[in-house]
Structure 1
């Protein structure tokens, strides 16, 4: 009898393994690339990931970090869009080499930060990115340090930053960095690229007005203009559009080590999404676009919005010194992406400490619509790009004024 039970137990275990294995294999093979990820840009919720923690070369996707630093410097009034940048001979040498992404910047000619910024994102112009890095007088080495600092602020802890462009160190000609291998190049994980992309579109959404342009004109010198096409073939009217998705960015990347890479962003039914495909397999560079198409199609077919609600206790908060004791908070209901048929969630309102007293009560007055904290959502079906809970803004749905003396004593 014991042998029969043991045999049945072994058989049951084998059946479970056989049933479970195809699901894992199918998920691993869905995107034909070394690494891929898809997230909700607003909440950071991961919708799909495949080997997203492997550190890989990212080529010109690096320029997203470069322009993030520039956006910060403009925001802090260290630069302006109209700041003029004079092109050095070393930058011109890179900018006019047809082996690279060349736009032909002229030595001794000056271009505005806006012109260089647009060229960096639309044409992926290597010389323009190098010129941006030196816009405030910084050396390439100093700008690399700014990029590393920005990456850490975003939450990227293990990026390799060699230059603002994404080329191998040896390809920078007279600008290559001493003490670094000629073959060294920028690298990070797909999750890191998603974090970087999320930071850029959340903090500087106007960047999408640039990345969504199918083509643009650039003035190289007086009387000499050049029209360039955006390398993103998934923009509206492009070859690889996806029905129902309005893609308006973000950045391609290509190198021998990185292969064909692409970080995209687009909107579907009012929700902004971000995808990353690193090292799409095959010799066709457009594989990065066909694999990105698969990500969006997977999302459309499999993602469902799960409505979650605060219970009665969670939807109220005790208030001290007000005209009434209990404050109604919200939103009462909100949604997360559900990728499994069954999933369990934990909802926890978290109030800002500076708004509460030693009894964990809010202090009156509280205004309607005032941001009070966040609603943290965790669950078996939820993962986020920054490894934190999905958070929803927690707000007051009514106003409670500071009470009179009797009300303050009573409440």
Structure 2
């Protein structure tokens, strides 16, 4: 194990006996940007290029402008689907029944009939590959009961992610008043979706079929041609309306280094794909990533005041890395876990409890939100009594 990874170098230090943790109330410094000094997407109205792991921005152009996203909207729809699967509220094998309303959606569709049933997995394929507006609404109704309630969930999720230039009016991106987002916000949504690594099994497919056992199987071809023609590309979502023009949130990975590129308002698909490819080419040539923790590594142990568990063990649920210039000095890298406050029961699963901040000497390279991997309830008086008594004799 490399020297800078030993014991994760926690700033949240556990004291023997008192079992108290230090914590930082101040807002930590933000990662240093790596902004390119060249316009990598000259034809786009808005664009951003980001390291998918650390969130470090490599290039941006009008990235906070509020613009119509067209079917890139479905990134949030897929995020809520993957979240529901992860939470056990939904299974890939669950049947989804198409309502008359869902079947009535125009634009891109997989031609669902009222009453037709498909599995969640097939609906996901229909959304990811064919950009099915009908499949998006069917899934919205499956998860939330109504499209309106699902849209409320979309906006609630956007708010929880800190997306200040996003408002959804539907789950598919069909033109609607007050339906907008920004390239920056799309990149954040995409980064969040990519935490569910199995999503690229759908978004990275070039072609597949629906209704395979029927007399007329439905051929799906990915609207994102980069998954076939750009090495390492495996998602995420295209979009087009006459108002939004040609849009794309794309991701590609090479040697464990994953990028997210978003362009909005491109004049045509050829230019859109060429400029996203140019963004990827630039980043892969100029940068690489340095691993901090691999999945399953112990990040640290945090004491829990009055919890039915005395401490919370934090392990990496996905790889953590930082982006650096190729050829740059990669020594003296350390990480610190900073709690926003002492951890006190009850603790909710998924509750944000602090930041993992990565430094090179005193310079902040990246920071990651740290969430509780499990729920911790309050301890009863007898548990607290036994714990206190045990501490007296240690």
Partner SS for 2:269:
coil
Separation (CA, whole Å) in 1 of partners of 2:114 and 2:77: 22
Aligned pair 1:132/2:109, yes or no? no
1:81 aligns with 2:63: no
The match for 1:206 is 198
Number of equivalent positions? 309
CA positional deviation for 1:119: 0.5
350, 358, 367: which one pairs with 1:390?
A: 367
Larger Rg: 1
RMSD over aligned Cα, in angstroms?
A: 4.1
| Cα distance in 2 for residues equivalent to 1:253 and 1:152 | 22
- Per-residue deviation, 1:117: 1.4
Cα separation, partners in 2 of 1:307 and 1:268, compared to 1, 3 Å: closer
Partner of residue 15, structure 2: none
Change (3 A) 1:258 1:221: farther
1:163 corresponds to: 170
Please list every run of 5 or more consecutive structure 1 residues that lacks an aligned counterpart in the other structure. 1-23, 170-183, 309-333, 357-371, 384-388, 394-407
Residue in 1 that maps onto 2:218: 226
Distance in 2 (alpha carbons) for counterparts of 1:380 and 1:32: 38
| Distance change in 2, residues 1:155/1:256 (3 Å) | same
CA distance in 2 between partners of 1:349 and 1:382 (Å): 11
For the Cα contact (< 8 Å) 1:120–1:126, is it kept in 2? yes
CA separation of 1:114 and 1:26: change in aligned 2, threshold 3 A: same
The match for 1:192 among 167, 172, 185 is: 185
Determine if the alignment matches structure 1 residue 338 to structure 2 residue 325: yes
Separation (CA, whole Å) in 2 of partners of 1:137 and 1:114: 17
Cα distance in 1 for residues equivalent to 2:339 and 2:362: 26
What pairs with 1:9-408 in structure 2 (closer than 5 Å)? 27-28=38-39, 30-94=41-105, 97=106, 100-136=107-143, 138-169=145-176, 184=177, 186-202=179-195, 204-219=196-211, 222-236=214-228, 238=229, 241=230, 245-280=231-266, 282=267, 284-303=268-287, 336-338=323-325, 349-352=336-339, 374-377=356-359, 389-391=366-368
Contact 1:231 1:252 in 2 (8 A): yes
Partners of 1:277 and 1:195 lie apart in 2 by: 14
CA distance in 2, matches of 1:201, 1:348: 23
Q: How far 1:347 moved relative to its partner? A: 6.8
Higher relative contact order (CA 8 A, sep 6+): 2
**CA distance in 2 between partners of 1:335 and 1:302 (Å):** 14
What's 1:329 paired with?
Answer: none
State the 1:66 CA deviation: 0.6
Change (3 A) 1:291 1:132: same
Work out the CA distance in 1 between the residues paired with 2:163 and 2:61. Answer: 18
Helix, strand or coil for the counterpart of 2:172? coil
| Superimposed CA distance per residue, residues 36-84 of structure 1 (whole angstroms, 9 cap, x where no aligned partner) | 1111111111111111111111110110101111122222232222222
Asked whether the 8 Å contact 1:155–1:195 carries over to 2, the reply is no
Q: Structure 2-normalised TM-score?
A: 0.67
Deviation of residue 159 (structure 1)? 0.9
Which 4+ stretches in 1 moved above 4 angstroms?
304-308, 339-342, 345-348, 351-356, 378-383
Using the alignment, how far apart are the partners of 1:349 and 1:279 within structure 2? 40
Cα deviations across residues 221-264 of structure 1 (Å, max 9, x unaligned)? 8433111211111113x3xx2xxx41111100111111101111
